[in-house]
């Protein structure tokens, strides 16, 4: 038994030292959310080439993708991420609370540390048979909406806040009218998909619902995957601006990769990085690049979570914590 | 099963017991102990409030109710499948036998996604159920379907060897003594099968209680209606509420342990009773 244990320890040590050797070449680990695969698959070669040209150093970028809250928990539990690229500010704030990224992380880069944005739009059946134009249409009786879980998923939370914010900004809108509106909207959801992609599958492949609410960039991915023949995109009068915050993890000081990690994220704001975002249907923050790709980004009035809810933290605790506004909709039944 | 300890075939009781204890501790007891220990960070009042919130109570009902229903269905139909596989010869028997194990191997998410596609009102099965007013996908019934799928091999594989061991002569003897077919089944065969069936039932039930991957796709995940406890735990984690998640996990653990212990005692009792009456009919465990 003792011998076996010794062997186990020995082989674990060996594996660790091998991992150390493999890291001799500079590499960065980008820990990211689930559906960012395509964005960074396209971005990494661009950065690697630019970095090689600038510094002469060959660099390798590894990706880790998963549900964003699970990803940051892995980072907090010791996954050595040089940088994180997330789709919810609360996830980066969580790392800030754990002391892994700077407290003022959203000031470390321009645009609230979000190199590109998106917004929540409606995907409807081809020809828009039910004539959806705005959020109010989705809460009408007889409509079925397909959305991911509003409490457990980033996609669902953005949908929830978009609907709430829209109702709040209507003439005479207040918290009570917004709660009533969101309540009747959720009554039209017969199910909550466990994730954004599963909601898409429910809508496109299983034919569930009259309308799917999702990110603008997701619409393009649906078109690439399933063809453009089956659906139309409808832009509501207003929607929430969704941000994709990035941050450097303090682990870079231990790994000696601060310079590279900083450069990796800075490059997201370069023309090249912004073009990459636009080509993946994320709205670039660079006005020139946005203009160049204007045809794929119809103008839409957006509001930020800060404007309407004060801050993400506030929005989160008012609406998604246990006993928050989402739970109240279901407790009332 | 109950050989006296003076007749050990293999030596090394101390070593093997030590190994068993260390192995169980490292893999089961220490992680679970850590879980319970961390739950004590909360005051008893806080613990109780989280454990008995209306959402949590509804979720326990869904989790344990659906698991129980699925295990009962599996016990009945698993027994039939096992019986057919042992007692009858037919073309493709080996293939069918192999199919039984598939739910063991298939990633549960794949099972969940496939079942959802089949049972959605546009799916191959769901479209025929829809006109009858039966909705499976995105309802608690869907949860039961997923749990039946993942649980069936547990029943078949525990009952199968026992049926193989029952000699055909036992049935013949019953027949010559004037037993009807029903009597032969209820008085002769079923008592011999019951302990194994109970084991299979328990395994299927335990597996179903903890199942997450296949269920979340088909469940619909509506609060108070089709929300399983593991989803509520994930929901807590998504709020960075680790203590809350641990509370629910500990409650699941305690309920499961009590249920499994009860079933084990019941099984021990029936096996005892049964082997006292029919010594050679298969006193297994």
Instruction: State the average pLDDT for chain A.
Output: 89
Residue A258: pLDDT band by 50, 70, 90 thresholds? very high
Confidence class for position A4, pLDDT limits 50, 70, 90:
low
Q: How far is CA A272 from CA A48, A88, A102, A289, A293, in A?
A: 12, 24, 27, 9, 13
Cβ-defined contact of A322 to B55 (cutoff 8 Å):
yes
- Which of A1, A190, A327 lies at the smallest CB-CB distance from B138? A190
CB A238 within 8 A of CB A166: yes
Cβ <8 Å between B239 and A322: yes
Q: Tell me whether domains A25-115+244-296 and A118-241+300-331 share a fold.
A: yes
Residue A282 DSSP code: P
CB contact under 8 A, A190 and B220: yes
B53 touches chain A (CB under 8 A): yes
Confidence of residue A128 (pLDDT cuts 50, 70, 90): very high
* DSSP letter for each residue of A126-184: TT-TT---SHHHHTSTT--EEEE-TTT-HHHHHHHHHHHHHHHTSTT--HHHHHHHHHH
Q: Please report the pLDDT score of residue B197 as a whole number.
A: 94
CATH topology (fold) of A118-241+300-331: D-Maltodextrin-Binding Protein; domain 2 (3.40.190)
3-state secondary structure of A243: strand
Structure confidence by residue, pLDDT tens digits, A210-255 = 999 999 998 888 888 888 888 999 999 999 999 999 999 999 999 9
Contacts of B113 in chain A (CB under 8 A): 198, 201
Q: Where are the domains of chain B?
A: 48-277
Contacts of B223 in chain A (CB under 8 A): 327, 330
Q: A-contacting residues of B 220-239, CB under 8 Å?
A: 220-224, 226, 231, 234-239
Residues of B in contact with A191 (CB under 8 A): 137-138, 219-222, 226
Are A322 and B244 in contact (CB < 8 Å)?
A: yes
Half-sphere exposure of A175 (CA within 13 A, CB side): 7
Here the tokens at position B232 are 């509520």
pLDDT average, residue stretch A72-83: 92
Q: What tens digit of pLDDT does each residue of A144-159 get? A: 999 999 998 888 999 9
What is d(CA B235, CA A149) in angstroms, rounded to the nearest whole number? Answer: 10
Q: Which residue has the higher pLDDT, A10 or A199?
A: A199
Domain extent listing, chain A = 25-115+244-296, 118-241+300-331
Size of interface A-B (CB pairs under 8 A): 75
The pair of structure tokens assigned to A262 is 């900083």
Beta carbons within 10 angstroms of residue A26's beta carbon: 18
Q: Is the dihedral of CA A97, A100, A103, A106 positive or negative?
A: negative
Facing residue for A1 by CB, picked from B18, B231, B238: B18
pLDDT at B76: 96
Contact residues on chain B for A149, CB-CB shorter than 8 A: 221, 235
Q: Measured between CA atoms, how close is B23 to chain A, in angstroms? A: 10
Architecture of domain A25-115+244-296: 3-Layer(aba) Sandwich (3.40)
Secondary-structure class of domain B48-277 per CATH: mainly alpha
Per-residue pLDDT of chain B (285 residues; tens, 9 = 90+): 444 455 666 677 888 888 889 988 888 888 888 888 888 888 899 999 999 999 999 999 999 999 999 999 999 999 999 999 998 999 999 999 999 999 988 999 999 999 999 999 889 999 999 899 999 999 999 999 999 999 999 999 999 999 999 888 888 899 899 888 889 888 889 988 998 999 999 999 999 999 999 999 999 899 899 999 999 999 898 888 888 999 999 999 999 999 889 988 888 887 777 665 544 444 443
Strands A246-248 and A83-85: antiparallel
* The two three-digit tokens of residue B93, written as one number: 């028997």
Q: Per DSSP, which regions of chain B are E strands?
A: none
Answer whether residue A18 shows pLDDT above 80: no
Look up the ipTM and state it: 0.78
- How far A211 CA sits from the closest chain B CA (Å)? 16
Q: Where do the DSSP E strands lie in B109-267?
A: none
Contact B224 A327 (CB under 8 A): no
Q: How many CB atoms lie within 10 A of CB A162?
A: 25
Among chain A residues, the shortest Cα distance to B122 is held by A206
Kindly determine whether residue B55 and residue A327, on different chains, have CB atoms separated by under 8 Å. yes
Per the structure block, which two tokens stand in for A304?
A: 């930020």
- Tens digits of per-residue pLDDT, A278-308? 999 999 999 999 999 999 999 999 999 999 9
Residues of chain B contacting residue A73, judged by C-beta atoms under 8 Å apart: 237, 240
Indicate yes or no: CB of B221 within 8 angstroms of CB of A69: no
Number of Cα atoms under 13 Å in the Cβ half of residue A132: 31
Residue A264 has pLDDT above 60, yes or no: yes
Q: What is the pLDDT of residue A21?
A: 46
How much is the average pLDDT of A61-82? 90
Which of the residues A88, A97, A194, A320 would you substitute to probe the B interface, choosing the one with the greatest number of B C-beta atoms within 10 Å? A194
A194/B217 touch (CB, cutoff 8 Å), yes or no: yes
């Amino acid at each position: 038994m003792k011998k076996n244990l010794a062997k186990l320890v020995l082989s674990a040590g060996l594996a660790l030292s091998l991992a150390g050797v493999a890291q001799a070449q500079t590499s960065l680990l980008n820990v990211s959310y689930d559906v960012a695969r395509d964005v960074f698959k396209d971005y990494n070669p661009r950065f690697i080439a630019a970095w090689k040209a600038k510094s002469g150093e060959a660099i390798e970028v590894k990706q880790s993708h998963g549900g964003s809250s699970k990803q940051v928990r892995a980072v907090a539990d010791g996954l050595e991420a040089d940088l994180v690229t997330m789709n919810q500010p609360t996830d980066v704030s969580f790392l800030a609370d754990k002391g892994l990224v700077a407290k003022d992380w959203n000031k470390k880069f321009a645009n609230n540390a979000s190199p590109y944005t998106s917004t929540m739009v409606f995907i409807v059946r081809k020809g828009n048979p039910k004539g959806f134009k705005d959020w109010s249409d989705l809460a009408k009786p007889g409509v079925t909406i397909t959305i991911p879980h509003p409490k457990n998923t980033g996609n669902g939370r953005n949908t929830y806040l978009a609907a709430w914010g829209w109702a709040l900004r209507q003439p005479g809108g207040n918290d009570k009218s917004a709660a009533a509106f969101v309540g009747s909207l959720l009554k039209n959801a017969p199910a909550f998909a466990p994730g954004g992609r599963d909601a898409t599958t429910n809508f496109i492949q299983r034919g569930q619902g009259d309308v799917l609410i999702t990110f603008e960039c997701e619409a393009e991915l649906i078109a690439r995957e399933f063809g453009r023949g089956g659906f139309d995109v409808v832009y509501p009068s207003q929607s929430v601006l969704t941000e994709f915050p990035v941050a450097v993890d303090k682990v870079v000081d231990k790994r000696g990769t601060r310079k590279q990690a900083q450069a990796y994220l800075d490059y997201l704001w370069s023309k090249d990085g912004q073009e990459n975002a636009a080509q993946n249907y994320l709205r670039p923050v660079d006005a020139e690049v946005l203009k160049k790709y204007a045809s794929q980004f119809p103008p839409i009035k957006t509001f930020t979570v800060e404007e309407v809810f004060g801050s993400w933290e506030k929005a989160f605790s008012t609406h998604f914590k246990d006993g928050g506004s989402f739970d109240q909709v279901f407790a009332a039944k | 099963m109950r050989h006296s300890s003076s007749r050990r075939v293999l030596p090394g009781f101390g070593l093997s017991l030590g190994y068993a204890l260390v192995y169980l501790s490292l893999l089961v007891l220490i992680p679970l102990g850590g879980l319970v220990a961390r739950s004590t960070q909360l005051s008893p009042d806080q613990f109780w409030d989280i454990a008995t919130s209306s959402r949590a109570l509804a979720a326990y009902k869904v989790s344990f109710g659906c698991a129980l229903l699925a295990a009962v269905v599996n016990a009945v139909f698993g027994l039939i499948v096992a019986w057919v596989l042992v007692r009858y010869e037919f073309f493709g028997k080996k293939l069918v036998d192999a199919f039984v194990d598939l739910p063991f191997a298939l990633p549960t998410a794949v099972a969940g996604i496939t079942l959802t596609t089949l049972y959605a009102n546009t799916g191959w099965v769901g479209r025929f159920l829809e006109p009858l007013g039966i909705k499976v996908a995105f309802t608690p019934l869907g949860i039961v379907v997923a749990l039946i799928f993942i649980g069936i091999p547990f029943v078949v594989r525990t009952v199968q060897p026992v049926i193989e061991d029952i000699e055909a002569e036992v049935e013949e003897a019953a027949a010559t003594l004037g037993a009807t077919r029903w009597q032969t089944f209820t008085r002769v065969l079923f008592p011999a099968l019951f302990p194994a069936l109970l084991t299979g039932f328990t395994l299927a039930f335990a597996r179903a209680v903890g199942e997450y991957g296949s269920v979340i796709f088909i469940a619909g995940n509506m609060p108070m209606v089709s929300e399983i406890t593991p989803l509520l735990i994930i929901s807590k984690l998504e709020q960075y509420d680790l203590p809350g998640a641990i509370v629910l996990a500990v409650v699941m653990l305690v309920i499961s342990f009590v249920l499994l212990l009860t079933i084990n005692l019941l099984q021990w009792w029936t096996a005892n009773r049964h082997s006292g009456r029919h010594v050679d009919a298969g006193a297994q465990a």
